[in-house]
């Protein structure tokens, strides 16, 4: 077995091996989740990308999009942002529990730390306010001189985007309980203004001073007066996250689930300014000539140069979806801790309480699941049984099954692709790592997605930016394609993507057989799916 060593990830251009071609099924995503948005003093709209670890600036006049704070900077997963005095920018870094200040010249400093999931942020007359996206969260005033924050309110049921209104009161949502509250920044008792809303995610004021509330549920933009909703506008943004109003009365709406940017004019007309796309993608499966994609927040179909959202399943399966396969007519997704089977709107939980489970594969009598944290590969029988196929593995990430029933796994911890045979007698218990595992490839740089196609194994070598073709008989390894932009994670973020008390989605580059001898590859560093084949 052999494979060329690499010094670091190869991020393009994509170079298929002789005899193969690589074809993208959709364009790259311009925004890996568009979250916080604010109008800057330069006339541009500044956008925080939680999944991209970046802040970009969009020019409404030219349509230009510039990355201002890139994934090679200090941010882990920015969620909201606001401008203060003299062009300084404040950014909340949710997983890291930090609030950053960016000086007009670009220098970055931390102004607050130790905050649990900081999310909403607001500036008013030289004062900075931040709330927490967690149950029993806090509303805080940040001491810009470095002292401890002042607690204005507690008991927030997932705080989010907020703003000070014309009357000087600070308005903020409880995303989880469907409420909007307000408080005097100088102190006092919080007052509940609205209740019974569907996931209010942002509270803003339009140029006329009207109270506007955005829904994360259906993308509705509500107008509220006298403690009630008086008008509803459909923005068409699935998983809407934030909104900002410009002087002409236009509402600019971002989408956490799919990215993109939508402008809603004063006449109610919604125009897509930056298209939505894939915020991963992670797991992938063939769907006829198209690809079915697990995209953290949603399930999507990719083909014909377009991305079609099939359902924002993150709220249905209680977690971001990672792995994906098709099994006896159903779709199967993994969430890291669980496995779900069905379709959008109708999911059944197959397993729960797993220690990290990205990869899943279909076999005739059930499913194989790679449980990374436990070092195991599990068999989840269609009869409800749960048995261990192999244990003692060094970081299994994905699994695959060939037509003979032989099973394979990528071991990202050990840099290997291995094969093990299922016990025909049905005894899958115990530690089967040493006596039933054959190493087919070693010395790989974070192997992740795995698929069987054309009598070979195809493996995404994520840390090297390569797709490998492995002969399971001769155990030879060749590079099928290089220059693949896997993993948009900032370099300082650890492999498990844990930072502080929270975490951002860990990368997973899925690979799937397309049925015509080609394979589908989730190129999650650019937000698209690549078909590689003859």
Distance CA 10, CA 44 (A): 33
Is 67 among the domain residues? yes
Whether residues 514 and 396 share a domain: the answer is yes
What's the confidence (pLDDT) of residue 52? 83
Structural domain range at position 46? 37-274
What's the confidence (pLDDT) of residue 425? 38
The answer to whether 425 and 438 have CB atoms below 8 angstroms apart is no
Q: Residue 234 in 3-state DSSP?
A: strand
274, 299, 330 - which closes a domain: 274
Q: How far is CA 357 from CA 44, 83, 339, 381, in A?
A: 41, 40, 8, 16
Low-confidence winner among 175-179, 302-306, 325-329, 371-375 (lowest mean pLDDT): 302-306
Is 9 among the domain residues? no
Q: Tell me: the pLDDT tens digits for 37-67?
A: 999 999 999 999 988 889 999 999 999 999 9
What's the confidence (pLDDT) of residue 289? 85
Q: Is the pLDDT of residue 461 over 50?
A: yes
242, 257, 274 - which closes a domain: 274
Tokens of 402: 């060939």
Whether residues 233 and 373 share a domain: the answer is no
What's the confidence (pLDDT) of residue 9? 58
- What is the mean predicted confidence (pLDDT) over 243-258? 95
Whether residues 235 and 296 share a domain: the answer is no
What's the confidence (pLDDT) of residue 225? 94
Q: Tell me: the pLDDT tens digits for 275-322?
A: 999 988 999 999 888 999 999 889 999 988 889 989 888 889 988 899
Is 1 among the domain residues? no
pTM of this structure = 0.88
The answer to whether 351 and 358 have CB atoms below 8 angstroms apart is no
Is 4 among the domain residues? no
The answer to whether 54 and 75 have CB atoms below 8 angstroms apart is yes
Mean pLDDT of the chain: 90
Tokens of 150: 């002042």
Q: Tell me: the pLDDT tens digits for 490-517?
A: 666 656 555 444 555 677 899 999 988 8
Whether residues 211 and 247 share a domain: the answer is yes
What's the confidence (pLDDT) of residue 19? 94
Low-confidence winner among 8-17, 70-79, 522-531 (lowest mean pLDDT): 8-17
3-state DSSP of 153-166: EEEECCCCECEECC
Task: Dump the DSSP string for 285-344.
Answer: EEETTEEEEEEBTEEEEEETTEEEEEE-GGGTTTS-B--EEEETTEEEEE-SS-EEEEET
Is 185 among the domain residues? yes
215, 245, 274 - which closes a domain: 274
Is 394 among the domain residues? yes
Count structural domains, the chain: 2
- The angle at the Cα of 151, spanning 149 to 157, to the nearest 5 degrees, equals 120
- What is the mean predicted confidence (pLDDT) over 82-88? 95
Other Cβ atoms less than 10 A from the Cβ of 248: the count is: 9
More confident residue, 242 or 52: 242
Tokens of 114: 């130790």
Whether residues 217 and 290 share a domain: the answer is no
Band of residue 423 on the pLDDT scale cut at 50, 70, 90: low
Band of residue 6 on the pLDDT scale cut at 50, 70, 90: low
Band of residue 424 on the pLDDT scale cut at 50, 70, 90: very low
507: domain CATH number?
Answer: 2.120.10.30
Calculate what percentage of the chain has a pLDDT beyond 90: 76
Q: Tell me: the pLDDT tens digits for 405-417?
A: 999 999 999 899 9
The answer to whether 422 and 407 have CB atoms below 8 angstroms apart is yes
Whether residues 237 and 333 share a domain: the answer is no
Is 238 among the domain residues? yes
Q: Tell me: the pLDDT tens digits for 87-146?
A: 999 999 998 899 999 999 999 999 999 999 999 999 999 999 999 999 999 999 999 999
Q: Is the pLDDT of residue 528 over 50?
A: yes
Low-confidence winner among 23-37, 211-225, 422-436, 510-524 (lowest mean pLDDT): 422-436
Q: Tell me: the pLDDT tens digits for 164-180?
A: 999 999 999 999 999 99
Distance CA 183, CA 163 (A): 11
Whether residues 233 and 360 share a domain: the answer is no
Is 379 among the domain residues? yes
Whether residues 211 and 327 share a domain: the answer is no
What's the confidence (pLDDT) of residue 252? 98
The answer to whether 80 and 73 have CB atoms below 8 angstroms apart is no
Whether residues 190 and 311 share a domain: the answer is no
- What is the mean predicted confidence (pLDDT) over 485-489? 75
Whether residues 151 and 174 share a domain: the answer is yes
Whether residues 229 and 292 share a domain: the answer is no
What's the confidence (pLDDT) of residue 515? 81
Whether residues 152 and 90 share a domain: the answer is yes
């Amino acid at each position: 077995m052999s494979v060329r060593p690499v010094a670091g990830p190869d991020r393009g251009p994509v170079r298929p091996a002789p005899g193969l071609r690589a074809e993208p099924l959709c364009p790259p995503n311009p925004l890996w989740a568009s979250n916080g948005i604010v109008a800057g003093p330069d006339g541009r709209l500044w956008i925080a990308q939680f999944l991209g670890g970046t802040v970009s600036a969009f020019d409404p006049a030219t349509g230009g999009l510039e990355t201002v704070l890139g994934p090679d900077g200090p941010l882990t997963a920015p969620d909201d942002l606001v401008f203060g005095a003299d062009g300084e920018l404040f950014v909340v870094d949710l997983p890291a529990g930090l609030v950053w200040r960016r000086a007009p010249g670009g220098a970055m400093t931390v102004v607050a730390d130790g905050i649990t999931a900081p999310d909403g942020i607001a500036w008013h007359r030289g004062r900075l306010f931040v709330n927490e996206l967690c149950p029993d969260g806090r509303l805080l005033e940040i001491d810009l001189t470095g002292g401890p924050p002042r607690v204005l309110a507690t008991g927030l049921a997932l705080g989010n985007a907020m703003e000070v209104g014309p009357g000087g009161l600070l308005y903020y949502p409880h995303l989880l309980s469907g409420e909007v509250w307000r408080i005097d920044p100088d102190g006092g008792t919080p007052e509940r203004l609205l209740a019974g809303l569907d996931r209010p995610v942002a509270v803003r004021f339009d140029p006329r001073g009207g109270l506007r509330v955005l829904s994360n549920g259906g993308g509705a933009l509500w107008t509220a007066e006298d403690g009630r909703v008086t008008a509803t506008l459909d923005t068409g943004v699935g998983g809407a996250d934030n909104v900002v109003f410009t002087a002409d009365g236009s509402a600019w709406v971002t989408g956490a689930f799919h990215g993109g940017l939508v402008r809603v004019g004063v006449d109610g007309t919604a125009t897509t300014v930056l298209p939505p796309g894939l915020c991963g993608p992670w797991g992938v499966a063939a769907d006829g000539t198209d690809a079915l994609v697990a995209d953290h927040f949603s399930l999507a179909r990719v083909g014909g140069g377009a991305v079609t959202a099939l359902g924002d399943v993150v709220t249905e399966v209680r977690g971001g979806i990672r792995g994906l396969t098709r099994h006896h007519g159903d779709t199967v997704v993994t969430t890291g801790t669980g496995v779900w089977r069905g379709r959008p709107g109708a999911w059944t939980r197959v397993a729960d309480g797993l220690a990290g489970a990205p990869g899943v594969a279909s076999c005739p009598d059930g499913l194989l699941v790679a449980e990374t944290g436990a070092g195991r590969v599990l068999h989840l029988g269609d009869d409800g049984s749960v048995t261990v196929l192999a244990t003692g593995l060094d970081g299994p990430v994905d699994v695959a099954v060939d037509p003979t029933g032989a099973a394979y796994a990528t071991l990202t911890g050990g840099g290997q692709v291995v094969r093990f045979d299922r016990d025909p007698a049905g005894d899958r218990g115990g530690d089967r790592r040493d006596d039933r595992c054959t190493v087919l490839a070693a010395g790989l740089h974070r192997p992740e997605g795995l698929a069987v196609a054309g009598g070979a194994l195809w493996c995404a070598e994520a840390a090297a930016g390569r797709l490998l073709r492995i002969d399971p008989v001769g155990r030879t390894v060749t590079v099928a394609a290089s220059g693949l932009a896997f993993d948009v994670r900032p370099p300082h973020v650890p492999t498990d993507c844990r930072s502080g008390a929270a975490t951002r989605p860990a990368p997973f580059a899925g690979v799937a057989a397309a049925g015509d001898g080609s394979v589908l590859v989730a190129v999650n560093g650019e937000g698209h799916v690549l078909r590689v084949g003859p």
